[in-house]
Chains A and B, each alone.
Chain A
């Protein structure tokens, strides 16, 4: 069910909305942090956070409160909060709006997060290319410091908190939390082996919680209204997927945008009500639900959930476009919610070109540390390239899934799955199209990823306007 909210986006599009003055005036800025620091114990903060049912916004959907509860005070070592703002997943563009339009919600979230996990320092790891994001975050930190919200005694409480912005060099793999920690420490951005998990051995060898930026950004809103109340805003509160989050719509839609919605809109609502419909009013063909790593869904798929215990049972036999979108419901559809930014594809899009496009990305971004991902991602591209060039054989097409199978689960980090899942998704759902590219050597030359003659509405019709609705 589509329910627009404006907890995070209230100051989006407002003049000087990124400043402390506007944040305090319009969004009860820093009231949540004040309440938490002056009236709650650390344990209470974690218990309360669990009630918010905030599922990690970075893609994996792990419950934030539970992650916080893994942090145990260490006898000698400090703890750290690290915010992952290395938003690099193709088709994902939500964290950037938050950093640019509402950086203070992030800083306030850091204060609460640090207090909750027993840290005194938070690092925000931002992609290098996001210059405005970094500038806005740094300005927000300065303002908060000047007011004393960050520093030795925030809100009169002797609990020092500081926040630092750290610049990454723009490698996708640094969005993987342990890679990010390596990069933060000045090492090569390559994933670490787990265990130990960051809660035991994280940044600089100290206990660390790594949260997505949006996850922390929504924390002040949740604490301000009461975490249980916050969770109930969601249509999926009953299956522990609470609150509101940023949804993105991109691809072949008339109005690509980022909007804030209560958790649980359907894909149909996102495409037609939020995205303004498919470009050129073409039929909807396929959707990648949450960043390029999540397996693609065909628009004509039906829900298959004969099991009465399944959260999707009530939608059994219905169109997948009418399922409320949450972490567990998306999993039930055989894909993942991921970052909640859907990529819409109109009829006429080439699945082979789409897969080639994605595989090029994964080949380029594989850190190369472990064998299956390093070599497998390159092999997948080669075959896709040959399919597009019209030189692939049926034997090579039949190799694709076995290459992806051999990457799946056999790597150090989830990047392997992130490469294999979309590859297998495209193959499984569009095998006949792939075969056509083997038979017809000219098919690749006709393949397209765009809707000819159509373009998006101008940016002014985008995010800000949506939020104001």
Chain B
């Protein structure tokens, strides 16, 4: 692999890597605002300027500037080398680049940082970006000088609504154009642009349009400062109080890697942010996915139900025992769910094995909108995982047919979701127990509902449409009386007279290794863009 030197350190690079990209991959951050690994480089913020030493047979391009000489009582002519934006300059073999070790670079960074804050309102206490703002981080790292401009700053439009999801503050904007480029290059809807000139510049939405579509929240996420804020997250939290779980979005079969931010003090979910993974979602997530953090509380089954009435879990298990205790175990049908983790599904699959039942079905949410950016038509997070686990499992339509025909009388299911709302055939069942986190057609028809923890309330594994097995961490504590699905399967097993072969998550995971599900992906690259 070819290499170049950055501050004396050897940095490998691939053809086509800019200096900043190669450094980023090597774990060295060159400060920047406008550069984003997933977007084109406009080199407009000038924060990533570096000094590139000329080759042996070349001379550096020098610029005439002045310094104030106290002794002389006059200006002194000095020269400085022309610096280059590392986001635009391609890495080349043997190149010598100076950043931290060049006084010119250090001065230029401080200069850019001062310029960016010159007309900035510095309204950090009321800014949602506080705590994750590059202006804050870089002031400390690269400027540290007191304010030299004490006059009224330039005033520009504030709290401009860009659409249903985003608010814009032109005074906080550093004009990096990331949002504009994202809408143009990734969302393929160039609805944002600039108006005016010089320090009156501002981002606008194309006249007659609003910022809409499936990727508007990403504009807020790529914004390095507090210029764009999400209406959903505005004024809800201080980010430094939040904890983050590395999870996987449950919205569709793409399985976008996400950060799930929640307040551990109140166990409150607050937002999703994309987690970079070149192989899955790159740096992006869709709006529907980003807002699906709300599924932690919306439409939940917070406690056990019998005949639709809330009861204690023990009471629900007793009811299950009554309905299933005397039934031939091998005649019980089991319904896996493409919306539940492999752990939950494996536990249920294992119970079916222990019952010597061959009647396996699979349920999940119906198909929906798709595009060629991220959104998959399959709205289930684990379709591929369930298919690998039980390739012979029959469809939900088969379950309805078999129930109508009386071939199936007792069913233990996972989840509330079904591909259809029309489930009257389930009414013919003599026993239907489901272990569900969210309400759906199956919970509506079930005699007994056991309250499962949602994906973020217990660690789980999901296999996306590309067949990649991804681990989702636990975030918030389980809502109400809910418990991890695999654990409830175990309790249900005991209730119906079967001894489960697992008691801990570790037991379930070790069984998982033995299945035909593909081996885990290496952990996703955490470096790259923010």
CB contacts under 8 Å to B, within A391-431, are 395-396, 398-399, 401-402, 404-406, 408-412, 417, 420-421, 424, 427-428, 431
Q: Please tell me if A28 contacts chain B, counting CB pairs below 8 Å.
A: no
Q: In the complex the two chains form, is A410's CB within 8 Å of B198's CB?
A: no
**B65 pairs with A379, CB closer than 8 A:** no
| Option from B66, B112, B175 in Cβ contact (under 8 Å) with A372 | B112
Is A292 close to B, CB under 8 A? Answer: no
User: Chain B nearest CB: distance from A88 CB in Å?
Assistant: 13
Within the complex, what minimum Cβ distance (angstroms) separates A440 from chain B?
A: 19
Q: Which of the candidate stretches B77-85, B388-396, B419-427, B505-513 sits at the interface with the other chain?
A: B77-85
Partner of A366, one of B43, B68, B198: B198
Residues of A within 8 A of B107 (CB): 406
A410 touches B111 (CB 8 A): yes
Q: How far apart are B418's CB and chain A's nearest CB, in angstroms?
A: 51
Q: Closest approach, in angstroms, between the C-beta of B49 and any C-beta of chain A?
A: 6
Are A379 and B149 interface neighbours, CB within 8 A? Answer: yes
* Interface contact A370-B111, CB-CB below 8 Å: no
With A193-B88, A399-B148, A427-B66 as contacts: A365 and B198 at CB distance below 8 Å: yes
User: What 1/0 mask marks residues of chain B from 63 to 100 whose CB sits below 8 Å from any chain A CB?
Assistant: 11111100000110100101100001000000000000
Question: B46's contact among A334, A364, A371, A431, by CB below 8 Å, is which?
Answer: A371
Question: Using a CB-CB cutoff of 8 Å, which residues 193-224 of chain B contact chain A?
Answer: 193-194, 196-201
- Which residues of B sit under 8 angstroms from A364, Cβ to Cβ? 197-198
* Interface magnitude class on chain B: 35 or more
Cβ-based interface call for A44 (8 A): no
Interface presence of B154 (CB below 8 A) = yes
Chain A residues whose C-beta falls within 8 Å of the C-beta of B452 in the assembled complex: none
A376 at interface, CB cutoff 8 A:
yes
Across the interface, do B46 and A411 meet the contact criterion of CB distance under 8 Å? yes
Which of the segments B114-122, B299-307, B432-440 contacts the partner chain?
B114-122
Give the Cβ gap from B138 to chain A, nearest Cβ, in Å. 12
- Asked if A377 is at the interface (CB within 8 A of a chain B CB), the reply is yes
**Given A365-B197, A368-B201, CB of A193 within 8 Å of CB of B148:** no
**Cα A187 to Cα B88 with chains together (Å):** 21
Contact B115 A376 (CB under 8 A): yes
Instruction: Report chain B residues within 8 Å CB of A227.
Output: none
User: With A399-B148, A417-B63 as given contacts, are A377 and B77 in contact (CB-CB < 8 Å)?
Assistant: no
Which of A378, A398, A399 contacts B154, CB < 8 Å? Answer: A378
The answer to whether the Cβ of A104 comes within 8 Å of any Cβ in the partner chain is no
Name the contact of A409 in the complex, choosing from B82, B174, B201 (C-beta under 8 A): B82
Flag if B175 contacts A369 (CB, 8 Å): yes
B355 on the interface (CB 8 Å rule)?
Answer: no
Chain A nearest Cβ from B526, distance in angstroms = 29
| Closest beta carbon of chain A to B184's beta carbon, Å | 12
Taking a contact as CB atoms under 8 Å apart, the answer to whether B198 and A412 are in contact is no
Complexed CA–CA distance, A410 and B49 (Å): 8
Instruction: Report the minimal beta-carbon distance from A214 to chain B, rounded to whole angstroms.
Output: 27
B412-453 interface bits toward A, Cβ cutoff 8 Å, 1 = contact, 0 = none: 000000000000000000000000000000000000000000
Smallest beta-carbon distance A5→chain B, Å: 34
A42 CA / B122 CA spacing, docked (Å): 60
Contact assessment for B149 and A406 in the assembled complex, using a CB-CB cutoff below 8 Å = no
B44 contacts the other chain (CB 8 A)? yes
Asked if B116 contacts A377 (CB within 8 A), the reply is no
Complex partner residue of B175 from A374, A378, A401, A409, CB under 8 angstroms: A374
Specify which chain B residues have a CB less than 8 angstroms from the CB of A411 in the assembled complex: 46
Q: Which residues of B from 123 to 180 have beta carbons under 8 Å from A?
A: 148-149, 151, 154, 174-175
B116 CB contacts on chain A under 8 angstroms: 371, 375
CB-nearest residue of chain B relative to A295? B64
Q: Which residue of B has the minimal Cβ distance to A187?
A: B193
B198/A363 in contact, CB under 8 A: yes
Asked if A334 and B198 make an inter-chain contact with CB atoms under 8 angstroms apart, the answer reads no
**Would A409 and B197 count as touching, CB distance under 8 A?**
no
Is the pair A371, B201 in contact by a Cβ cutoff of 8 Å?
A: no
Task: Point out which of A368, A376, A420 has the most chain B C-beta atoms below 10 A from its C-beta.
Answer: A368
Q: Which residues of A contact B68 (CB under 8 A)?
A: 398, 401
Contact B75 A428 (CB under 8 A): yes
Decide: A375 near B63, CB < 8 A? Known: A365-B198, A370-B44, A399-B148: no
In the bound complex, CA of A401 to CA of B107 (Å) = 14
**Is there a chain A Cβ closer than 8 Å to B280's Cβ?**
no
Does any Cβ of A come within 8 Å of B270's Cβ?
A: no
Residue of B nearest to A375 (CB): B115
Return the contact of B111 from the options A171, A173, A406 (Cβ within 8 A): A406
CB distance from B380 to the nearest CB of A (A): 43
Task: Say yes or no: is A382 at the interface (Cβ < 8 Å to chain B).
Answer: yes
Q: Does A188 contact B (CB under 8 A)?
A: yes
Residue of A nearest to B150 (CB): A396
Question: Which residue of chain A is the closest to B119 with respect to CB atoms?
Answer: A375
Contact of B199 among A363, A410, A412, A424 (CB under 8 A): A363
- Let me know if A367 is at the binding interface, CB within 8 A: yes
Q: What are 25 A-B contacts with C-beta separation under 8 Å?
A: A365-B198, A366-B197, A366-B198, A368-B196, A368-B198, A368-B201, A369-B175, A370-B45, A371-B44, A371-B45, A371-B112, A374-B201, A375-B115, A378-B118, A379-B149, A395-B148, A396-B148, A401-B65, A402-B111, A406-B107, A406-B115, A409-B83, A412-B44, A421-B64, A427-B75
The 6 closest A-B pairs by CB, nearest first: A406-B111, A375-B115, A368-B201, A366-B198, A409-B63, A405-B65
Inter-chain pairs besides A379-B149, A406-B111, A410-B46, 16 sampled, C-beta below 8 Å: A363-B199, A367-B198, A368-B175, A370-B45, A371-B116, A371-B174, A375-B115, A375-B118, A376-B115, A378-B119, A378-B198, A379-B115, A405-B66, A410-B49, A411-B46, A412-B44
Residues of A bordering B, CB below 8 Å: 171, 173, 188, 193, 334, 363-372, 374-379, 382, 386, 395-396, 398-399, 401-402, 404-406, 408-412, 417, 420-421, 424, 427-428, 431
